[in-house]
Amino acid sequence: MPTNPLSRWLAAALAAGYALLIATGADAADLHRRVVPLDGSWQVAEGGMDRPPADFSRVVPVPGLVSLARPAFIDPGLEGTDAKGTPRKDPRRDAFWYRRTFRIDGPAPAVATLKIGMAMFGTRAILNGRVVGDHPPSFTPGYFDLRDALVNGQNELLIRVGADRAALPPGIPDGFDFEKTRYIPGIFDSVELVLSGTPHIVSVQVAPDLTDGSVRVETEVRNAGKSAVATLRFTVREAKSGKVVGGTASGPVSLAGGSGQTVDVRIPIAGCHLWSPEDPFLYRLEVDGGADALETRFGMRTFQFDPKTRKAVLNGRPYFMRGSNITLYRFFEDSECGDLPWNPDWVRLLHRRMKEMHWNCLRYCIGFAPEAWYRIADEEGLLIQDEFPIWYGGSTWSKLPIGLNSPELAAEYAEWMRERWNHPSLAIWDASNETTSTETSAAVQKVRGLDLSRRPWDNSYGTPRVAGDVFESHPYHFNNPDYKLSDLAAENPVPQGNELPNPGDSPVVINEYGWLWLNRDGTPTLLTQNVYRNLLGPDSTTAQRRHLYARYLAAETEFWRSHRHAAAVMHFTSLGYSRPSGQTSDHWLDVAKLIWEPEFFQYVRDSFAPVGVMIDAWAEEYEAGRPHEFAVAVINDLYQDWKGTVRLRLLREGRPVGEQRMDAAVPALGKVNLGFTVRMPAEPGPCQIEATLVGTPYGDVRSLRDFSIFPGGAGR
């Protein structure tokens, strides 16, 4: 028996002779909602756009990508490194076709809806030879009405996806990314069949109100049958215990045939327990309309940015955001990707690895994750900046005609918001990455009112349009290959924009910085070869580069966090690709087992500690035998005061040659500045200064600076 999970799945599918059957048992009398998962093994074939292939001789997992098909296809999604801008047509095929069967015993229910979570590139659904709909967007759910095409007995479902970005109609976002070389198609989120009676529940939005410990619930109901009157009953339970903590009922809702209505209720929550990254407590809402019922989870939490203090505010209190980025669509083309993004154990461990770095937030960058990722972020406790997959560049360096259309974007933004708005983890809607476009701005204005929780928006290079929206900064110091860490001494501690100067009237989110990337094997990326040549010379070793990367990234993190001018500091990136032709990369020694590169974990983790320290000294050398003042900043992200000891040591060859201690008292959410005077050794040579917070709730936390001692009286 094969031991590899993918091989075991393939062997099982082959043994079953591709018998992809599900018996639903649905009949006309079974009125409540039944959700039939259609994930698992599907048959798949390549072919044209107009008609299904005759031979389905391969199998593929759903959700997943066609690169997981067995036997494998030749180069699916391979566009070539010069595929910038205009999509390149796949020369081998126009489309991939997915096939499976399922069984309906008895007459079709009043409502039968197929949901395809996300599929690239463009989706057509065909049931029993009948086209039931098209959904061109690749990054939002597609819903298809199957009722009239269902038959009693076995049903054949075909789903066609385009083989490449060129399969999409003009004006449909295709996920272009300057760094990607492969755009691998596939159904990469879950597929399910929803069966119910009617009137039926189309959507539910839950908006917490912490002023009185209640939730506002907005429910969209439709009637697919004759005129009817329905009463909606709402029950709130603790997600884990199942304990009922709230409930209410609507008044009678009268619905003519084919009509819909929105029902708005407010439900007090007994013993309201707030959700936060430190305490991710969840509730479950059940909505029952008699002929249909729906469940969704939510957390009692509010999130916004204060336009006056320019800080994040979580549950009514200031909150310092520390985090990273995940570029999942780049990882899709990584040689180690496989089926990892759809393995719930791996995804959960990935998010736990993020939290062990002292991160409380992530940006899902240039593309959405599968829905399961947001459920896991809810449970593990991470705030998500969710970024729509648009990256067309700034006004001075974009190589593409932008060509965006705000009505299409607004429609896709609305579909995205409806899918995500009950997740407490989702904190910021992000319209695009590094893009100057009036179309994204206009689209945001069209849809922002749909979110009852009034989450803030990030529009990358666009100007924030509403107080509390964020100003995005990507301060990549080392994109200048001649930059030195000592140059930080002259840097503006107020983060600036990449297209426009910081106007000073909006909260600033730093969600990219560094420009020091190394591939997982320790070699420089295409963007950092000159950086490491400048900093370490032409013959640096892997160990030297990894050490410098970790120490410099830690120092930059300390710089931005300690100056307190950024509401969020989020490093780039914790998951991406690693390849010789790549521009960026991540920090894994083993991405399948999620083992961090040790130097990164050792130094960068300390730089993100909630009680943190920065040596505010950046010189590369000091004169021998002379005293020098070292400023040390201590910051506290906690809601409790911190008192403890700050130890400053002078190190030579890793051994202390001098030590001082000072007591520090840092108020909640505060900062203190300390000063130490250190006499430099008489002998020239390399040294370090080390500041350590002793015994914080997160252990000892360090900041280090390297420098050299030069002989006194040398006239330097």
Q: Is residue 466 part of a domain?
A: yes
Within this chain, do residues 540 and 572 fall inside the same structural domain, yes or no? yes
pLDDT at 84 (0 to 100):
57
Q: Is residue 716 part of a domain?
A: no
Q: Please give the torsion angle defined by the CA atoms of residues 158, 164, 167 and 173, in that order, rounded to the nearest 10 degrees.
A: 110
Question: Tens digits of per-residue pLDDT, 425-465?
Answer: 999 999 999 998 889 999 999 999 999 999 999 999 887 77
Helix, coil or strand: residue 566: coil
* Residue at which a domain ends, from 163, 195, 227: 195
% of residues, the chain, pLDDT over 90: 88
Pairing mode of beta strands 471-473, 508-510:
parallel
CATH number for the domain harbouring residue 233: 2.60.40.10
Within this chain, do residues 294 and 396 fall inside the same structural domain, yes or no? no
pLDDT at 8 (0 to 100):
37
pLDDT band for position 716 (50/70/90)?
low
Within this chain, do residues 124 and 40 fall inside the same structural domain, yes or no? yes
Q: How many angstroms separate the CA atoms of 461 and 472, rounded?
A: 7
Q: Is residue 182 part of a domain?
A: yes
Whether 430 and 390 have beta carbons less than 8 Å apart is answered as no
Within this chain, do residues 170 and 234 fall inside the same structural domain, yes or no? no
Is the pLDDT reported for residue 15 higher than 60?
Answer: no
Q: Is residue 303 part of a domain?
A: no
Q: For 13-22, 353-362, 522-531, which range has the lowest pLDDT when averaged over its residues? A: 13-22
For residue 232, give the nearest of 211, 255, 248, 216 by alpha carbon. Answer: 248
* Residue at which a domain ends, from 604, 622, 650: 604
Within this chain, do residues 140 and 230 fall inside the same structural domain, yes or no? no
Question: Tens digits of per-residue pLDDT, 577-623?
Answer: 999 999 999 999 999 999 999 999 999 999 999 999 999 999 999 99
Q: Is residue 313 part of a domain?
A: no
pLDDT at 21 (0 to 100):
40
pLDDT at 80 (0 to 100):
66
Mean pLDDT of 114-142: 98
Structural domain for 204, as ranges:
200-298
Is the pLDDT reported for residue 49 higher than 80?
Answer: yes
Domain count, the chain: 4
Whether 455 and 489 have beta carbons less than 8 Å apart is answered as no
Question: Tens digits of per-residue pLDDT, 216-244?
Answer: 999 999 999 999 999 999 999 999 999 99
Q: How many angstroms separate the CA atoms of 179 and 280, rounded?
A: 35
Within this chain, do residues 78 and 227 fall inside the same structural domain, yes or no? no
CATH number for the domain harbouring residue 368: 3.20.20.80
Per-residue HEC secondary structure of 96-158 comes to: EEEEEEEEECCCCCCEEEEEECCEECCEEEEECCEEEEEECCCCCCEEEECHHHCCCEEEEEE
Within this chain, do residues 461 and 338 fall inside the same structural domain, yes or no? yes
pLDDT at 465 (0 to 100):
77
Q: Is residue 147 part of a domain?
A: yes
pLDDT at 62 (0 to 100):
98
* Residue at which a domain ends, from 144, 172, 195: 195
What token pair was written down for 526? 């295409």
Q: Is residue 218 part of a domain?
A: yes
Q: How many angstroms separate the CA atoms of 142 and 215, rounded?
A: 28
Helix (H) or strand (E) holding 328: helix 328-331
Within this chain, do residues 248 and 191 fall inside the same structural domain, yes or no? no
Within this chain, do residues 578 and 627 fall inside the same structural domain, yes or no? no
Within this chain, do residues 107 and 235 fall inside the same structural domain, yes or no? no
pLDDT at 141 (0 to 100):
98
Q: How many angstroms separate the CA atoms of 77 and 92, rounded?
A: 10
pLDDT band for position 20 (50/70/90)?
very low
pLDDT at 208 (0 to 100):
98
Q: Is residue 308 part of a domain?
A: no
Question: Tens digits of per-residue pLDDT, 331-349?
Answer: 999 999 999 999 999 999 9
pLDDT at 647 (0 to 100):
98
Instruction: Choose between 3 and 333: higher pLDDT.
Output: 333
Is the pLDDT reported for residue 4 higher than 60?
Answer: no
Within this chain, do residues 497 and 415 fall inside the same structural domain, yes or no? yes
Is the pLDDT reported for residue 19 higher than 70?
Answer: no
Within this chain, do residues 34 and 182 fall inside the same structural domain, yes or no? yes
